[in-house]
Amino acid sequence: MNTQEQNVLDPAGLYERQEPLHIHTDQTVAIIGCGGVGMWVAYFLALAGIRKLHLFDSDTVSNHNLNRLPLTYDSVGKRKVEALAELIGKHRPHCNIVPHTNFDEESGSHREALGDCIQVVCCTDSLKSRQKVYKVTRDYGLAYLECGADGLGGSLSYEPPNISTELEENPGYQNIPVFVGPCVSVAAWACYYVLLNSTMTDRTLRIDWHKRVDSMSGYLQLSTILDNDPVEEEEEEVEGVEEEVNDEQPVLGVAQEETGGGNVRQS
């Protein structure tokens, strides 16, 4: 066996470059909702070497999901957790994947699965489901993160919002535009907190794309929303950008609402 083959088969050899970063991979994490954001969270955690993942989702892969998922056309029609387990199995066969149906707070096996975890990342597309997951997570004393993407933006928070929208009655929010950018961005943020074993307790992180007035260009804006405090914003702009932004124009016409950890979700 040559050195390259040995490194592929030996998980320890894959992670030498991240060892100085004190990444916590010897843990079990639950991903509830394995759509446009949740699938990337699970995939990134597996790439980093996480030991075990519980995946919850009953939905199947559709064509319109593929613009933001690392899957092929052959995955259409498969359950998302099964397609995701196959994907991770090809890249990290040593990661223990346990697929489940939609999370049911009344299910003994689902509660048992959460009891096996240290952290829970909720990426479902309804407020009701996130509130249920949050309650069970609190009962078990587990770290909780929730994340979602909508339009050109996305967010990461430590608790469900206190608001809802009319879209709550439209499962899947299929009428909301979304693409891979915010899905991957928010998933990467979640992995920082999980892999560095850090608990988010008082803030929501938000990423948005702001289009410039009378211009085809724009820039990313990163916001930190603290509990009961005015919004604190940290902006990262493309080079040479100085024009004033018209914040009253919604991106792609998608209305954003934020209270605590609140915003529209896209799975």
What's 90's domain CATH number?
Answer: 3.40.50.720
Does residue 258 lie in a domain region? no
The pLDDT averaged over each successive group of 10 residues in the chain (267 residues) is: 50 84 95 97 97 96 95 97 97 95 90 91 92 93 94 94 62 74 97 94 92 84 80 45 41 36 45
**Rounded Cα distance, 88 and 77, in Å:** 18
Does residue 188 lie in a domain region? yes
Contact 61, 102 (CB under 8 A): no
pLDDT of residue 71: 97
Residue 168 CA: distances (Å) to CA of 12, 113, 124, 230: 44, 27, 11, 27
Does residue 218 lie in a domain region? no
- Residue written as token pair 């989702």: 57
**Rounded Cα distance, 137 and 133, in Å:** 6
Does residue 126 lie in a domain region? yes
Contact 61, 78 (CB under 8 A): yes
**Rounded Cα distance, 127 and 265, in Å:** 9
**Rounded Cα distance, 170 and 173, in Å:** 6
Structure tokens belonging to residue 187: 């998933």
**Rounded Cα distance, 151 and 149, in Å:** 7
**Rounded Cα distance, 193 and 199, in Å:** 7
Does residue 37 lie in a domain region? yes
**Rounded Cα distance, 11 and 33, in Å:** 27
Domain region containing 135: 23-202
Q: What is the pLDDT of residues 46-71, one digit of tens each?
A: 999 999 999 999 999 999 999 999 99
Chain-centroid distance of CA 102 in Å reads 16
Does residue 249 lie in a domain region? no
Domain tally for the chain?
Answer: 1
258: Cβ contacts below 8 Å, ≥ 6 apart: 155, 161, 204, 206, 225
Query: Which helix (H) or strand (E) segment is 87 a member of?
Result: helix 80-91
pLDDT of residue 32: 97
Residue 104 CA: distances (Å) to CA of 29, 52, 55, 114, 130: 17, 20, 13, 11, 11
Does residue 17 lie in a domain region? no
User: pTM above 0.95?
Assistant: no
- Rounded to 5 degrees, φ, ψ at 138 are -65, -40
**Rounded Cα distance, 25 and 33, in Å:** 21
pLDDT of residue 229: 56
Contact 256, 264 (CB under 8 A): yes
pLDDT of residue 245: 40
Does residue 252 lie in a domain region? no
pLDDT of residue 161: 83
**Rounded Cα distance, 190 and 54, in Å:** 16
